[in-house]
Amino acid sequence: MTKATIAGGVIAAALLVLAFALFVRHRDLERLGVPAEPTPAEVEPSAPSVAAGEVHPGFLYGRVTTLGGSTWEGRLRWGGDQEAFWGDYFNGRKDANPWVVHVPPERLPEERRGFSVFGIEFGGRKRDADFVRLFMARFGDISRIEARGGDVRVTLKSGAVYDLDRLEASDFDDGVRVWDERRGEVTLDSTRIRSIELLPAGPSRAAPSRLYGTVRTRHEEFNGFVQWNREDCVGTDELEGRTDAGEQRFRFDTIRSIARRSPEGYLVTLLDGREVALSGTSEAGDGNRGTYVDDPRYGRVLVSWDAFERLDFTPGGSGPGYGDFPPGRPLAGSVTTLDGRRLAGRLVYDLDESEITETLDAPAQGVDYTIPFGLVASIAPAQSDEGGTARARVTLHDGEELKLERKGDLGERNAGVLVFAEGRPSPEYVPWADVERIDFEPPQAFYPPLAGR
């Protein structure tokens, strides 16, 4: 065998090893949803446009760095046409729960898991409850989001860091659209993104039309910025529907009001006075996912289609800017137990929420409330309304009382409260069933203004 033949064999073997290594790397990255490197064609921007310069402090703004090292800075919209404002929420699932270690194993809550057939429960045995929680944070509370292999790391303004499971459902997977004033508009797939730094927007040239109005239900009305069907939030978004003449589309900035007129349809009144009855669309009935309202009294509510009666649009500005969201601070207050003890200190609610920017989530009469703890003065879990139905009484710092259903963060699956008393080496754990009342210390200058900007 000649030296040339040996050298050729060595080179061929090396190429095979290299090819196999690249295949394994590509396979592993693909499994995590992180391709090795973007290609220029996959991040090709459109031509710069006037829209790229339409940056206003109320809209998301930031700097996106790709895996290849390119940076794009400008107005952001998640998923291309979804979250657009600082009050919108970034969602994911946490990798782990660091608070569980403070609870003695024998006191950890348990749950029974079985199955049902025709309403009859079968089997099931008790096991430790799932303490890994979902993550929710307003974009205005976040400083940085970055991809880290199989995780998405979120750093809040407060300095708190959360690692989210990238393989679980996460808003990071939706990708982001960037209006870069210098380079144009681009939509970046999440598999191409290394990091996103959220920043205050620069000087604005225009204030885009944001949807604002009053949403009425059979029992209540809510005022604030609106997202119809959880998504449509600016005047250029379109409402779709069907009339006798066929499919119709209306820009929201041409609409005065939307009123429910049947389980599957609604009446649209336009600014010019015309009325159009729409039905048979994904915007009504089972296809309607509800309407978000950023009501400053409560943070955010989601009005279900079943509860929805009417929406009247009015001007409302473009909302708070990034600087209007101060860094979160630890929850603090006291817990009164059913046997009369009172424990005071730093609190961790439901073995999860530990900052005032985190939220209390519970429903009432077809409306889901998402209330930042900075607005909550007290919670009394075991209350009843006039009909004898079990309710929890949530009192806000402005004095308003809400009677919410004992579901979500107020339900029986609540994992209890940790109280870190000053000067004590370890926290005290209070099971949810032992809680009579929780009182929270009032924060200062917590919630940003939501209108008139």
pLDDT tens by residue, the chain, 453 residues: 444 444 445 444 444 444 444 344 444 444 444 444 444 334 444 444 334 445 578 899 999 999 999 999 999 999 878 899 999 999 999 998 999 999 988 888 865 555 556 556 555 555 556 688 899 999 999 999 999 988 999 999 999 999 999 888 678 988 999 999 889 999 999 999 999 999 998 766 665 689 999 999 999 999 999 999 998 999 999 998 888 888 889 999 999 999 999 888 999 999 999 999 988 667 888 889 999 999 999 999 999 999 999 999 999 887 899 999 999 999 999 999 999 999 999 999 999 999 999 999 999 999 999 999 999 999 999 865 555 678 999 999 999 999 999 999 999 999 999 999 988 989 999 999 999 999 999 986 444 544 434
Whole-number pLDDT of residue 149: 87
Whole-number pLDDT of residue 55: 58
Q: What is the pTM of this model?
A: 0.82
Encode burial over 148-163: b for 16+ CB neighbours within 10 A, e otherwise. eebbbbbbbbbebebb
Whole-number pLDDT of residue 30: 42
Whole-number pLDDT of residue 57: 86
Whole-number pLDDT of residue 25: 40
Whole-number pLDDT of residue 28: 43
